Structure 1
Amino acid sequence: MTTTVHRTPFRLTPPGADLRGDYWVGDAPAEDAALVVCHGFKGFKDWGFFPWLCEQLASRTGIAVASFNFDGSGVREWDFDDLEAFSHNTFSRELWDLEAILDGLAAGRLGDVDIPPASRFGLLGHSRGGATCILKAGQRSQVKGLVTWASISSVTRYEGFAAQWDAGETVIIPNARTKQDMPLERNVLDDMRANLERLDVLASAASLRIPVAVVHGTADESVPFDDARRIVEAAGDRARLVGVQGATHTFQAGHPFAGPTPELEAAVDASVELFTRVFG
């Protein structure tokens, strides 16, 4: 199935947040359903393959797609123009942001954009966004299908910066592409420690009773392939591991986007297959 896709920007401002996004929809979208695409750490809705991915999903599944920048993404109008927000981002904040997007889709309104209301959702998250999607799928029963791309399997990876934060330092994350030093305060660590049970990615995966596709490159340089295995083992029989042979963390794609790669197309094919099967 393919169709012409229209992209409409929206801005949602729940308390304490500013969510900029896009709503992608074909000429005859499936009723009562929507997909949500979530970026990862140092990602944003317009990074690299995300616009192409959203267009592909909307065109090939016939389901409306919402993509957005998390409030703590560090991106407002352009590339990483709000590093203060980036420095204080947490997993709990991302879950609240995603909840606001789902609430807007359910209500039929994203900011000042009116849309057909949806009561069934599919989630797709890349890297850290994959963990956020797993956690949200375990909390909201309207989520009927889940796809992760190169997802982390635990939020505890941020314990690696604990010594620097305990010494009163700000962690600096270099951005090789933009040449920015991106600050990271200890909020993410404090949030993780205070909410270990609620932020347990594998426990949430184990609670799921929905189809799950865990897509991961076998040559991922940022998140080990073993993370994918752990997620699938936790999720059980309803989960499918899709190992993309030789694929990197971003499936050989970069920013600016130079077009799809065979590895990226394999990831999209697996995603389309799951969402088409779930939503018909």
Structure 2
Amino acid sequence: MIKKNNILERPHKKPILWDAFYESNNTHKPLVIFCHGYKGFKDWGAWDLVAEEFLKAGFFFVKFNFSHNGGTMEQPIDFPDLDAFAENNYSKELEDLDDLINFMLSTENPIHTEINRNHITLIGHSRGGGIATLKASKDNRITNLISWAGVSDFGKRTATSGELEQWKKDGVKYVLNGRTKQMMPHNFQFYEDFKTHEKRLNIERAAKSITIPHLIIHATTDPSVKFNEAEDLHRWNPNSKLFPIPSSDHVFGASHPWKDKTLPKPLQNVVDKSIEFINH
């Protein structure tokens, strides 16, 4: 069963668009929630094929768009709503994830009977890896944490750093999206929110407090988030497992759009390792 583009309405907040991949047999399946990264979205590249792999392995797999990622309910792919993108921040993404988890486990979710509420894995890619780590460190409902090319420090990201005086003066700064050629706006509130909640948004602090099974997967030649960030995460939580992917990139050989019917080998390796880790 694949249910795409479900809408989670939230009073006084932007709605969240989510997909579910699962076998409809009224048995309680482990829940896996996937968090996309910066300038990402749930329908990027090969993410649907990834979701199908988890479905075949017996999981209830959910992927979603963060509410301010720049997509809309009508057009979830790419970034038609740059005003929303400009108002995004890490705190909003944590709140989105919390609201989604609460909904998935609640009776308001018409398919909650398919979910094992005692077996919840968070997977985050890139920036989503940081969000998943922060969430897992504070939420005792989470039973496994997996980071794919995850970041280790929000303070060093392009969205949070650089030319602060000019950014504050202008109220907005722009980052080029190399694929869509859009100039993506970040309002200064992004930095202000980060500084206000800097302690809560400290990934090192979060990683050091993780006590659940924790898998870190990272390409050794990742040009976007360097492999040393994975080594940092592993050092901060020595009980974690670090799984290097040799000679691959930030998205493990995938791209957008992804036309093939199968996953690129590095990403298939990532998925296989993740499923094996959750099962054991």
TM-score, structure 2 normalization = 0.91
Give the Cα separation in 2 of the matches to 1:27 and 1:69. 23
Secondary structure, aligned partner of 2:238: helix
CA RMSD of aligned residues (A): 1.6
2:7 is the alignment partner of 1:11 = yes
Aligned 8 A contact 2:29 2:59 in 1: no
Provide the identity percentage.
30
Amino acid at match of 2:71: V
Judged with a 3 Å threshold, the aligned counterparts in structure 2 of structure 1 residues 26 and 234 are, in CA distance, closer, same or farther, namely same
Deviation at 1:208, TM superposition (A): 0.9
1:94 aligns with 93
Count matched residues.
269
Q: Is the 8 A contact 2:29 2:60 kept in 1?
A: no
Q: Which residue of 2 aligns with 1:240?
A: 241
Is 2:48 the counterpart of 1:47?
no
Is residue 122–residue 144 contact of structure 1 (8 Å, CA) maintained in 2?
A: yes
Which structure 2 residues correspond to residues 169-248 of structure 1 after superposition, within 5 A? Answer: 169-237=171-239, 239-248=240-249
**TM value normalised by structure 1:** 0.91
Q: One-letter code of the match for 1:119?
A: R
How far the C-alpha of 1:9 sits from its partner, in A, is 3.4
Which 4+ stretches in 1 moved above 6 angstroms?
Answer: none
Does structure 1 residue 137 correspond to structure 2 residue 139? no
Matched with 1:271 is 274
> What SS does the aligned partner of 2:152 have?
coil
Unaligned stretches of 5+ in structure 1? none
Contact 1:24–1:54 (CA<8 Å) still a contact in 2?
Answer: yes
- Residue type of the partner of 2:128? G
Q: Which residue of 2 aligns with 1:155?
A: 154
The answer to whether the Cα contact below 8 Å between 2:175 and 2:185 also exists between their aligned partners in 1 is yes
Partners of 1:131 and 1:104 in 2: CA distance: 22
TM-fit CA distance, 1:41: 0.5
The secondary structure found in structure 2 opposite 1:156 is helix
Would you say the 8 A contact 2:89–2:193 is kept in 1? yes
Preserved contact between residue 29 and residue 63 of structure 1 (Cα < 8 Å): no
Bigger mean CA deviation after superposition, 163-172 or 240-249: 163-172
For structure 2, list consecutive stretches of 5 or more residues without a partner in the other structure: none
Shift of 1:261: 1.1
